[in-house]
Structures are given as structure tokens and as C-alpha cells.
Structure 1
Amino acid sequence: MSVTPPRRTIAVTLAIIAPLALTACSGESADKAESVVLTEPTWTGGQANVAVARYLLEKKLGYDVKVRRMDEKDSWSALGEGKADAILEDWGHPDLEKKYINKKDTVVPAGQVGVTGKIGWYVPEYVLDKHPELTDWKKLNRLAPLFRTARSGGKGQLLEGSPEFLTHDETLIRTLRLNYKAVYAGSEKAQIAEIQKRTARREPFLTYWWRPHWLANEAKLKEIPLPAHYEGCDDDPRTLTCGYPETPLKKYLNKAFSKKNGNAAKFLKNFQWGEDDQNEVARMIAKDGMSPRAAAVKWIKANPETWKVWLWGIEQD
């Protein structure tokens, strides 16, 4: 049995509800009126992060997401100047952190990606099988003739990717007095193609590379230890003699965005996955030829137990 309330009660109730409804709607619009702008790096692991985050921001949280591909320094500049909202994978730039976090106060940390990066010098396993004496950098000069190419002249070649990558290899070659030349492929894609071509022919090569990366396992790349990294050893990039540190990869947000865009900022702070997950999406993009979006969708469908954690405590559309 129901009782119809007096009309005056209904009118008062509507008068109260209407402004609340309008407030809720306007609040949601304010939170989502502006697009979320993600910076996308030039390597596929970082692109995998962006592809998955973008899809979930759009489909689960209703944001309009724009992606801007740029080099690392440009990403920091865009973030610091409010032209972008998030960097989802940074390999360590103390100078830029000091500039935009400490001095300008326009960027804030957003936690770790969940992946530890390691840059180094690598050779394919079959080179070590044939030259087991190649146990560290001190043996490289002896084997420099093995790594000569037309582009390296009379020196051994150290294959590099993009000059914009985080690298101090030219300085290391000079300070360690190595008879090598850094030769740049120009991009990660071109470097991958060169590595795949040489491994298919079982040709010797020495390359700048990093983990995590799907190709490191596929090509069976083995690291040649450089001088151990220690705190402060790379403060002066002109005279350093140490190798690269193991780096927990980090995320950063524009400070104003972090304060204003609640759900988007919370989600990007929560975003965290492992090396295997990142490698899986990156492999689909780089090796299988899938679009970043298609690769992200395939991974998302197969791994709800991972990404649903990122949405805990966040109101969804």
C-alpha cells in the first residue's frame, strides 16, 4: 500500500533535488571538460603504458584523451609548462626533476610504473658462446675488430638508437679509452631492425640496449658489465666513468592537473604493472604490427585482475 505525499512536499523535494543534480552534473563536467594530455615516448615500452592508460581513461572513466609523442626533455618541458598532463615512464632525469619539481614547482611525482629499467651494453648470446673471455668492458678493446662496420671506420661499432635517448656512451668510450665509435640507427625501430637482421645472420654486434624489452629475450641479448654505478658517479656527464644504474621507472604529473582532475589523476597514480605485462603489449605493437589501441584492448580483455585494481575508489561512468 502506498501513500501519495502532498503536492507541496513534492514541490519542496524537487526544489532541493534540482540544484543538487545540477551541481553534480556541473562538477562532473568541470572534472572532465578538459582533455587529458599524455606524453608518449619514442620507445614501445613507454607506448604500451600510454595505450593501456588511454583506453581505460576513455572507456571506463569517460575522458577525452590526447596523446603527444615527444622526446624526454620535451615531455618534461610540456609537463612543466602545462601543455601536457602526464609522463608515464621516466628513466631518471635529475636535472629536469630539480628544474620542474624543486625550482618551478609545476610537476609532482606520481609513483612508480612497477618496472625497473636497466640500460647497458649487450651482445647476442652466440657472441659470448664463441668468445667466453668477453666478461666485462676491459676485454672490449681486444675484440674491437670483431665489431667493426663500414660506419665505424677502423673502430668497433657500438650500435645506438636515437641520440635523444638517455645515453652517455660517447663519454664512456672516451673516458674508458675504448677503441669504439657510437653509431646511431636513428630510432628504436631502426635499431630493432638492425639487431634482428644481424641475429638472423648470426653476425657479431655490440649494442646499447635496455631492459625491460621484449627483444632482449627474443634476441637473447647478454649484458657486458660496465664499471659499477654508484651515487654521484655521473654528476658530471663530461668526465663520468661508470655504467648505468638500475632505475625504478617513475611517473610524473603536471601539478595543476594533479590537483584539479581528480579521477584522472588518481587513476594515473594507481597505474602500475610488471615487466611481463609491458613486454606483452610492446611486442604486439612492435613485432606483431598491431596498433597501440588494438594491443591495449587485447591485453585489457585478458587481464582484468590487473587493471581493475587501478580503478578502486574511483567513480566510473
Structure 2
Amino acid sequence: MKKLNVSLLAIMVAGAAHAADMGAVDEPIKLAINEWTGQHVTTHVAAEMLKAAGYQVEFVTAGMLNQFQALADGDIDATLEIWSSNVSDEYAKKIEEGTVVEIGDLGLDAKEGIAYPAHVADLCPGLPAWEALKDCAQNFATAETLPMGRLVDYPADWGTPGADRMVGLELPFKAIPAGSEGALIAELRASTDRKSPLLITFWQPHWAMSAYDVKFVELPPGEDACFNDPAWGPNPNAVNDCDFSPSRIFKAGWSGLADKWPAAYEILSNYQLAVEDQQPMMGAIDVDGGKVEEVVAAWMADNEDKWRPVVDAATK
């Protein structure tokens, strides 16, 4: 969603909505902090909007895949950057039982996939076509993966999407989970500096996509049938022989959120953040060494027209 659209959305919300009750302003609203910088930015922007409305906010560190029980129990009140391609079965169960509710899309234009720094195309002729990886896997091998190539997958807490595709497409790569988002960035930096081979599971929006000239491998389209019907796709004996599903990024809350803090629920439901706004803040933190609180505070001061109407619509 472009910046103009975000501003227009905020104005429309301000004109159409009625002020809601503030609810339990004496109790903090607990927001989940997950493992990646973009989510920290997303969550701190939301927190500042809630504070501007008059709420208290508390941050709770939570693993992306294991946060949903805490959300269902009310130990966390909202989580603000869920990627549809990387969500657990536990989330679906909580939605079905009604203990967790979705509270709208975040608005980020996103993509996930198997990726590599641009220089790797010289080490694996045929890229970005995925079939090229069959013939050059040995170039990516390490001591822990021989004779297979190495794929640096997401941290274990994020699931195994890269490993799933290596199996589905019968590619001779062993997926090694990264320890963190920072470890993924370290891999990209080292590969770029040394011009060494690297295959990695990665995503956009992320400042590293441009900083390290990251390209996505072209995989078969990520259609629903790929994940349910082994006969679909190039491997007739397996599912996941395709790209990631198109990513939807959305927000979710504890089922009691709307009743306990009606105005906060409206704010979080209508909250949107554009790639054009999130990505520079990520770079200011991860590249320039800024603190997330300071970077977000600067953005809030410079972009009040984008968030203030949403707060005012819910509270005035």
C-alpha cells in the first residue's frame, strides 16, 4: 500500500468512525515482540499510537510460533505482524475455538522465498531458474552438509519452509536453521564480502534485499494444490514442490481485547504500515545502529498525518 493510500485510509477512518470507550486504561495492553526487526518496528509504532491515545503498553517477548497459546490465555493482548506463509497450525486452532481473533491486515506488500546474493548467479549458471540448483549443489556444500549443498533456513522457531521446498523439489540441499534474523544477515554479509556461494530462505520487505542485492530463485507458482496434492507440480510424490504462497501480513488479538479496551481495538484494527515506511526504519536500526525506540519516535514525529487520524477517530 502506497503512502498516499495509507494517509487516505487514515482520513477516511477519521471521518467515518465514532469514538469508542477507552476501557481499562489502568491496565497495560501487552504486545508481542517476536524475533525480527521489522516486527519490532511494527509493534513499537502501534505502541506509540496506543500511548498517544492514553493507554499503557507492555512488551512481551514471544516466539512467533508459540505465542498463540499466550494470546489465547490473555497473557498477550495483540501480535501485530503475522506472515500467512509462516503461521502454525496452533493459530488456526485458536481462531476456530474463538480464543484468538484476527484484527485486520497490516498493509505490507510482502514476498518470501529461496534467495541468493546476485553474485551467486556466476557460481551457479542457470539461476534464477530453480532447476539450476540440481547441478551446482556441490558448490554450496560445507563440512556439515557434504555431499549436499547448504541452505540457510529460517530460525527453528519460524518453521521449516526452506527445508520443505528442498524435499518437495528433490533438491540436494540440507537446510540448516539460522540462529536468528541477525544470523541470516551475517550470512548475507559474509557471502557478499567474500563472493562465496549462499542459498538462503529470506523475505521482503527487508533492508538487506537492496543492501546485498538479493534475488529470489524462480520456483513453480505457490498454488493451493501444491500444498495438498502430491500429483501437482514437478514432483508427483510430494507436496511443497513450489514457491511460497503469496504472503498476507496481518494482526491478531486476544478474544477479550475489544471488550476490555474498545478504543485500542479500533486503533489496532485500523493500523496500517507501508513498506516504504517500515523498510527505512529497519535499515536505520540494523545498518546504522539506531535504537528501535528512537527510530520509531523520529518517524512518529515526522509522519503524524499517517497515524494521528486513526487514533483520533477511535478516541475523539
Q: TM-score, normalised by structure 1?
A: 0.84
1:89 alignment partner in structure 2: 81
Q: Kindly tell me: are residues 211 and 121 of structure 1, through their superposed partners in 2, closer, same or farther at Cα, counting changes over 3 Å?
A: same
Taking only aligned residues, the RMSD between alpha carbons, in angstroms, comes to 2.2
Could you list the per-position Cα deviations for residues 145-184 of structure 1 after superposition, in whole angstroms to 9, with x for gaps in the alignment?
A: 2212233222211112311114332232223221111122
Higher relative contact order (CA 8 A, sep 6+): 2
Alignment partner of 2:224: what SS? coil
Inter-CA distance 309–149: structure 2 relative to 1 (3 Å threshold): farther
* CA distance, structure 1, for counterparts of residue 108 and residue 247 of structure 2: 9
C-alpha contact (below 8 Å) 1:31/1:262 kept by paired residues:
no
Task: Please name the residue that 1:99 is paired with.
Answer: 93
What code does the residue aligned with 1:78 have? A
Q: Counterparts of 2:279 and 2:128 in 1: how far apart (Å)?
A: 27
| Aligned mates of 1:160, 1:282 — CA distance in 2 | 21
Identity rate, percent: 29
Counterpart in the other structure of 1:214: 207
SS of equivalent residue, structure 2 residue 45: helix
Q: Distance in 1 between matches of 2:161 and 2:46?
A: 31
Asked whether the 8 Å contact 1:159–1:184 carries over to 2, the reply is yes
Which stretches in structure 2 are left out of the alignment for 5+ residues? 1-19, 231-237
Structure 1 stretches lacking a partner, 5+ long: 1-26
Q: Find out whether 1:124 has 2:117 as its counterpart.
A: yes
Paired residue secondary structure (1:246) = coil
Give the equivalent residue in structure 1 for 2:131: 138
2:147 is the counterpart of 1:154? yes
| AA aligned opposite 1:256 | G
The equivalences for 1:283-294 within 5 A come to: 283-294=283-294
Q: Cα offset for 1:196?
A: 0.8
Instruction: Tell me, yes or no, if the aligned pair for 2:72 and 2:94 is still in contact at 8 Å.
Output: yes
Counterpart of 2:296, as a letter, is A
Residue aligning to 1:305: 305
Which among 143, 151, 164 is matched to residue 157 of structure 2?
164
Q: Residue in 2 aligned with 1:8?
A: none
Aligned-partner SS, 1:251: strand
Q: Is the 8 A contact 1:151 1:183 kept in 2?
A: no
In structure 1, the partner of 2:102 is 109
Secondary structure at the counterpart of residue 313 of structure 1: helix
Residue 76 of structure 1 corresponds to 68
How far off is 1:263 after superposition?
Answer: 1.6
What whole-Å deviation, never above 9, does each CA across 1:278-309 have from its counterpart, x for those lacking one? 11222222222222111110111221221123
Greater mean alpha carbon deviation, residues 151-160 or residues 107-116: 151-160
The 8 Å contact of residues 52 and 293 in structure 1, kept in 2 or not, is answered as no
- Superposition pairs of residues 173-192 of structure 1, within 5 angstroms: 173-192=166-185
CA distance in structure 1 between the partners assigned to 2:48 and 2:191 by the alignment: 36
Q: Are the equivalent residues in 2 in contact too, given 1:161–1:208 (CA < 8 A)?
A: yes
Residue identity in the other structure for 1:133: G
**2:276 matched to 1:264?**
no
* In structure 1, C-alpha distance between the alignment counterparts of 2:194 and 2:109, rounded to whole Å: 31
Counterpart secondary structure, 1:140: helix
Identify if the C-alpha distance between structure 1 residues 127 and 240 changes in structure 2 by more than 3 Å, giving closer, same or farther. closer
C-alpha contact 1:157 1:183 (8 A) present in aligned 2: yes
CA distance in 1, matches of 2:211, 2:89: 34
Q: Distance in 2 between the 1:164 and 1:193 partners?
A: 18
Count of equivalent residues: 288
Select the structure of larger CA radius of gyration: 1
Residue 13 of structure 1 corresponds to: none
- Give the equivalent residue in structure 1 for 2:55: 63
The CA deviation at 1:39 is: 0.6
The secondary structure found in structure 2 opposite 1:314 is helix
Aligned letter for 2:89?
A: D
